Amino acid sequence: MSAPRAVSASGLAVEATSRARGRPGPLQRRTSRAVLVTLLPGIVALVLFFGVPIVELVRTSLSSWTGIGDEEFIGLRNFQQVLGDTAVLKALLNSVLLGTGSAIGICVLATILGALVSAGIRGSRVYRIVWFLPGIAPPSAVAVFWSLSVQPHSGAVNAVLGALGLGDTHAWLAQASTALYVVIAVAIWQGAGFAFLVILGAMEEVPVSAYEAAAIDGASPLRRFFSITLPLIRPVLSMVVLLEAIWAFNGFTLVWGMTKGGPGDATAILPVQVYKDAFQFGNFGPAAAIAVVGGVILLAFGFVGQWLGSRKAADE
C-alpha cells in the first residue's frame, strides 16, 4: 500500500516544483490536453456552422454577384452604397424601433405578470401555462392570426372597438403611421411568455426573509417590489431586455408575415431589406453588406449590454 502513496507523493512534488519554476507540470499538461480534446468537437462545429458562413458573407459583401456566375471583387463599394441608401437607413431605424420598443414592452409586461403570479393571485398555476402559450406559437401563425384580427370590419380587434363605439374601419396595417406600432404590439404579445417564465424564476429565488424583514419594518407590497424585488432581479431583467431586443431586431418572419415591410417601407427592417435585395432584385453583394452592418450593430449592442450588466454586478 506504500508504493502507490510514494508514487503519488512524488508526482505531486514534481507538479509543485514545475509550478514554482513557472512551467506547467505533467498533471497540468494532461488536464489541458483533456480539456482540448473535450472542446474540440464543439470548436469544429462552431467553425463549420458559424465561422465559414461568416467568412463567406464578408467575402460576398465585398463582391458584385447576382446569384449566378462568378463573383467580382469590388472592395467597399457595397458598403458605400448601402450606407448612403435611404431605404437601408429607414430599415435600420425601423429595426431599432422594433427592437427597443418590443424589448421594453416585453420586459415591463413580463415583470408585471411575474409579480402577480409570484404574489400568489388566484389561478396563478393556470396563468403560468396560459401566459406562456403565445411564446410557443410559430411566428408565421402569429403573423397570420394578428393580420386577420386587425382587418377592417371583419377583424376581431376592430369588432371590439366597434362595439365600444370607437369605430370598426381602422386599417391599422395599411397606414404607414400605425403599421409599425401594430407589429411592435404583436411582438410584445408573442415574446412576453418566455420572458415571464424567466423573470418569474428570478423572483422566486429572492429570499423570503428579505420580504419578511421589510414587512416587519412596515413596507407596503409596492414598496417591497421596488426596493427588494427589482434590485435583486436586475441582472435577469438586463439579460431579458438584451435577448428580446436582439430577437426582435432580427424578427423577419413576423414582419414579413404581417406586412412584407409595407406599406411602402414603413415596417421594413434590415432582414426584410436583405431578403428583398438578395432574392427579389438579385443584388447579393449589397444584401450581404446590409447583413454585415446589422451583425456589427448587434455585436456592439451585445457587448455594451454585457459590459453594463457586469459593471452593475461589480458595483453591487
pLDDT attached to residue 15: 47
Residue 62: strand, helix, or coil: coil
The answer as to whether 222 is a domain residue is no
pLDDT attached to residue 315: 58
Cβ distance 196 to 124 under 8 Å? no
Q: How far apart are CA 144 and CA 81, in angstroms?
A: 34
The answer as to whether 8 is a domain residue is no
Residue 217 C-beta-side C-alpha neighbours within 13 Å: 11
Q: Which domain holds residue 95?
A: 77-207+233-315
In the DSSP assignment, the letter for residue 122 is: T
Cβ distance 147 to 257 under 8 Å? yes
| First-to-last C-alpha distance (Å) of the chain | 52
The pTM is what?
0.84
Structural domains of the chain, count: 1
In the DSSP assignment, the letter for residue 218 is: T
CATH number of the structural domain spanning residue 238: 1.10.3720.10
The answer as to whether 305 is a domain residue is yes
The answer as to whether 66 is a domain residue is no
pLDDT attached to residue 304: 83
pLDDT attached to residue 176: 92
Query: CA dihedral defined by 56, 58, 64, 68, rounded to 10 degrees?
Result: 20
Q: How far apart are CA 256 and CA 287, in angstroms?
A: 17
pLDDT attached to residue 47: 87
The answer as to whether 59 is a domain residue is no
Q: What angle do CA 136, 245, 173 make, to 5 degrees?
A: 75
Q: How far apart are CA 219 and CA 229, in angstroms?
A: 13
Which 3-state string (H, E, C) describes 146-183?
A: HHHHCCCCCCHHHHHHHHCCCCCCCCHHHCCCCHHHHH
- Grid coordinates in use for 140? 408565421
The answer as to whether 162 is a domain residue is yes
Long-range CB contacts for residues 297-305, cutoff 8 Å, separation at least 24: 297/92, 298/246, 298/249, 298/250, 301/242, 301/245, 301/246, 302/242, 302/246, 305/238, 305/241, 305/242
Hey, how many other C-beta atoms are within 10 angstroms of the C-beta on 229? Answer: 21
The enclosing H or E element of 213 equals helix 208-216
In order along its 316 residues, the chain shows pLDDT tens digits of 444 444 455 554 444 454 555 565 566 767 777 888 888 888 888 888 988 999 999 999 999 998 888 889 999 999 999 999 999 999 999 999 999 999 999 999 999 999 999 888 888 888 888 888 888 899 999 999 999 999 988 889 989 988 888 888 889 999 999 999 999 999 999 999 999 999 999 999 988 888 889 888 888 888 999 999 999 998 899 899 999 999 999 989 999 999 999 998 999 999 999 999 999 999 999 999 999 999 999 999 888 877 776 665 555 5
The answer as to whether 128 is a domain residue is yes
Hey, how many other C-beta atoms are within 10 angstroms of the C-beta on 179? Answer: 24
Cβ distance 264 to 287 under 8 Å? no
